Structure 1
Amino acid sequence: MDIKVQPRPMEGEGNLAEALEKLFIDEWGGPKNPLALAYLRGTVIPDLIHCIKKNWIFLENKTFQEILSSKLNTQFAYPPAFADGLAGEILDCAKHVLGTSPLANPHPWQPWEIILRMFTIGYGLPEIVQRTGYPEAYLNVICKRYHVLQKALELLGKPSEEQLYSFLEKNGGSLYLIRFMVDFQNRFHVCKNYYEQLHAQQIIMDVELNIDPDLLIRLFEGLFEVERMVSQERYTDLLKGAKTAWLTGESYYTKTKGYGLLHDWPKKQIVTLLDRLQECNLILQDSIHEHQLTLSEQAARLILPQVVPLLADEVQNILRSKARDKISRSTAILQGKNPEVTVHIIKELVRRQDPSVIICFKALQRRVPKKVFLQIIWACGQLGGKDAISLLCKAILDRDSLVRLRTCQAMGQMAEPSFYFCLIGALGDPEVMVREQAVRALGNLKMPSALKHLEHLINNPGEEPQVQRAARDTRLILLQEKNLEKN
């Protein structure tokens, strides 16, 4: 297996600008007046060059020619018949000046793949426009058709040819495009963790590398097991398969595919790969442990399906055991992992509705990064129990205002009467949003004795409007509760 940096178009942007200007003016009778000529040179040609360079591998791709034609029509107001012929000649001109990419991809699905991948993993249309150079009108149509098709497939399952033709009649497009969209949607049912695969493909495209997405995920998974323990040099040795003095006993690398993952790669290429991933902030050097590698949040998200269920199982199994050190062992799992992974382990434990894990969270408290601590507070609100009550009663006094705010929200979620005095105290918090959330949490407790405190907020001319608004809403809830008690 080999690593290659994605080739870029040869340096010929200036020559391409001249060639395109000649094409527009001399061969297609382009603009003659100074204003139109300035627009051509200052806007149209630079935009086309940006699009062509972003899509160098598609210069011989029929779908990309269709997209370029749409760009000329919708973005620069060339008539459709005119735009179709001009798009073909622009691509011929680009191939003549820039040459053909060694990774040229003529498959008509590939430009659509890029569009739906970005759309699926959460990019907005303006960002897709910037990253691809495609016209927003074209992207909007593709994404809307896919969205409608997704809903149809939920009802149809595997559609027949007749159903596809019926969809075409209602929504337009080509049968080829609709078949691609059906295939793309079906991959989520066929391919395991396809969403993470899409993220990996996008990273590879952004980083401009030519490697397999699954290999990138496995590489990140391997680093996760030893992050903050290895330098780049040692991690290179692990990927290469070289034995190092610090690696002893049974480990991730001796038990799984991680050890010697890239054993057939030249060491120089492994170094190039790791350097590129660090340049793009996917692999980081830990600021506390000098020169030790760790994953960025973006990289950690790719391995969540592989590692989170197993680590959640490990935490639960330890807590259910009779071991005397079960608290310290379970907290060590959460404390020593990548924060992004730890947050999702906590979410998974909450999803499993196991309240026994709260004792583990209570032991951690401020021994974890703030992001993880905020997730622990949320988990307490979801799972409840006496340990959750104890943790939240301490957290509401924290120096960090965001911690106090999230604690008020968690208390409101639990609606535990013993939080009453904590929340009454929070009505005097210096932060507006904390006071607001404390008021709303009191509404969930439904204790009419809080009414006098709400009246004080409502009648206080110095109080913020959003807190007074929350107090009025909560007063209505508590008055209704008071009337119910009387009846």
Structure 2
Amino acid sequence: MALDIKVQPRPPESAGNLAIELEKMFIEDWGGPKSALALAYLRDTVIPDLVHCLKTNWQYLDNPTFREILISKLNSQFAYPPTFAEGLTGDILLCAKAVLGKSPLSNNHPWQPWEIILRMLTIGHRLPEIAQRTGYPEAYLEKFRKQYYKFQQVIEGLADVSEEQLVNHKELAGLTVSQIRLLIDFQHRFKVFKNYYERLQAEQIIMDLGLELDPDGLIRLFEGLFSVERQVTIQRFADILKGAKTPWLTGESYFTKTCAYGLLAHWPRKQIITLLDRLMEANLLMDDTGPEQGLTLSEGAAKLIVPLVVPKLADEVQNILRSKAKDRISRTLAVLQGRNSEITIQVIRELVRRKDTSVVMCFKALQRRVPKKVFLQIIWACGQLGGKDAVNLLSKTINDRDSLVRVRTCQAMGEMADQSFYFALISALSDPVALVRENAIRALGQLKMVSALKHMERIITNPAEDPQVQRAARETKAILQKQKDI
């Protein structure tokens, strides 16, 4: 099925006149500010902020919820009294509609502005960022956020949730019936739609870039690029999306199988390249400048396809390792090495979740062939999975020249709690980096070998030692003392 991608319409060129018309409305229709200082505040702060808010929410100029938000903005952000703010809001909206006209995407459903807030809260945006992106006042956003979290707390304690029950719940008294219906529906989507969290992230990207594009289509686009990462340039990837025949891309490729091939076949090639350029400008796609040059996904884009590709790659790794093939290690490395770093990290985490200890034998060969953040994930995985191979690898990384690697190794040793690490951790107490010493101390506490007590005493009584390291030593001493008294 062809994917239709369009740029969302922007406010017309006459938007530049909006500031002039708003100033005229404030001064002529509402009596305007009388002092020079107040007039400067109106021109330099109030009007530019309102213009940004109105242009950003062009499609909501007739939306009752946006009207409510604008009233709150005038009241809480610019200190207009509630009754005054309500009347002023009506005139501001009339002025904006007269200048900007009606948006082709005009949406009057009361849920829509709340949907934007819910999405941004859910995917981790902070209130100042939401306020900057939407133009909504922080006071309104904070109130909505508290009500949303209260709603989540209430439904967690209820087995069967009905709308009537929630409407009458005393702790949700601040929510309207419409808001409660939206929140019920929003929570339900996570059960109905597969990978809904990633879909919300895709929706936000589409909103930020101004694309009229289905979120699933954007995710498919990223999934398709992942299968040919570092093998293509923008121009070559555009040809693939157009459905052009490429000899190096076999018919058995994952890209072809998932119908991403020819995804935008009905689009002019120039328009496809423009889309890819915009994704690059937003740091969602990157042009790898390393030895293996080519187009790659950024960490943010890769996260959107984790649920789609990681389980398949983890299955592939497990199937290879369970086979009797002599080259199973090299084949496993081929799956993990050279992949997008974020995807490789998530594959490692998935294998840990499955408690597959057989993969540890590959880590030793893999460690120096991957980026540092993947290497750190390998160290963490060794601590979680354990075993002889993990012991051998950690016994070497404790002496790595990178202090963060040594820190993570101490943490992994503590997780394994293998007493064979004792002397390596004692040696790490002399590490030049305080954070390494602190984590070595805490790992010794997890080993529960009382012979480490004398070393804790030495650290505690050393006046030159870092306070955080001494604190860790005191806490570990208490743990070991209890162990000794048993």
Between the aligned partners of 2:195 and 2:146, the Cα distance in structure 1 is 24
Query: How far apart in 1 are the matches of 2:170 and 2:12?
Result: 41
**Within 5 Å, which residues of 2 pair with 1:155-234?**
155-156=157-158, 159-167=161-169, 170-234=172-236
Deviations 1:279-318 (A, max 9, x none): 1110100111465100000000000000011111111111
Residue 359 of structure 1 corresponds to: 361
1:472 is matched with 474
Report the count of equivalent residues.
484
Residue 42 of structure 1: CA displacement? Answer: 1.9
SS of alignment partner, residue 227 of structure 1: coil
Distance 1:100 1:157, change over 3 A: farther
Unpaired runs of 5+ residues, structure 2, are: none
If the length of structure 1 is used for normalisation, what is the TM-score?
0.96
Output aligned runs, 1:123-134, within 5 Å: 123-134=125-136
Equivalent position amino acid for 2:252 in 1? E
| Map 1:39-188 → 2, pairs under 5 A | 39-156=41-158, 159-167=161-169, 170-188=172-190
- C-alpha contact (below 8 Å) 1:232/1:291 kept by paired residues: no
**Shift of residue 26 of structure 1?**
1.4
1:124-175, Cα deviation, whole Å (9 max, x unpaired): 1111111111011111121222212222233446633421320378422321
User: 2:35 and 2:249 mapped to 1: Cα distance?
Assistant: 73
Code of the aligned partner of 1:50: H
Q: Secondary structure at the match of 1:285?
A: strand
The C-alpha deviation readout for 1:58-79, integer Å capped at 9, x for no partner, is: 1222211111011111111222
Matched, 1:247 2:249: yes
Question: Do residues 418 (structure 1) and 420 (structure 2) align?
Answer: yes
Matched-pair contact (CA < 8 Å) for 2:150–2:171: no
Which residue of the partner structure matches residue 403 of structure 1? 405
Check if 1:315 corresponds to 2:324: no
Question: Residues of 2 paired with 1:361 and 1:290: CA distance?
Answer: 22
Instruction: Report the AA paired with residue 426 of structure 1.
Output: A
Alignment of 1:29-40 (within 5 A): 29-40=31-42
Of 276-285 and 160-169, deviating more is 160-169
After superposition, residues 263-412 of structure 1 pair within 5 angstroms as 263-289=265-291, 292-412=294-414
Q: Does 353-362 or 382-391 show the bigger shift? A: 353-362
The 2-side partners of 1:42 and 1:386 are apart by 67
2:450–2:483 contact (8 Å) kept in structure 1? yes
Distance 1:455 1:161 in 2: 61
Note the alpha carbon deviations across 1:339-359, whole angstroms, 9 max, x for none: 001111111111111111111
Change (3 A) 1:161 1:470: closer
Query: How many Å separate the matches in 2 of 1:189 and 1:92?
Result: 41
Q: CA deviation at 1:86?
A: 1.2
- Matched residue type, 1:304: V
With 114-123 and 280-289 compared, the bigger mean Cα shift is at: 280-289
Q: Distance in 1 between matches of 2:132 and 2:163?
A: 36
In 2, Cα distance between equivalents of 1:83 and 1:249: 63
Once the two structures are superposed, residues 200-255 of structure 1 have per-residue CA deviations (whole angstroms, 9 ceiling, x without a partner) of 00011112211111100000000001101111111111111111121234112332
Q: Secondary structure at the match of 2:7?
A: coil
SS in 2 for 1:108: coil
**2:156 partner letter:** E
Q: 1:290 to 1:421 in 2, by over 3 A?
A: closer
The alpha-carbon deviation at position 98 of structure 1 amounts to 2.2
Partner amino acid for 1:244?
T
Secondary structure of residue in 1 paired with 2:286: strand
Contact 1:300 1:338 in 2 (8 A): yes
Identity of aligned residues (%): 68
Aligned partner letter, 1:141: K
Name the stretch that deviates more: 138-147 or 296-305.
Answer: 138-147
**Contact 1:145/1:171 (8 A) holds in 2:** no
Check whether the contact 2:348–2:378 (CA below 8 A) recurs between aligned residues.
yes
Gaps of 5+ in 1: none
1:17 matched to which residue of 2? 19
- Alignment pair present for 1:258 and 2:267: no
Distance 1:352 1:149 in 2: 33
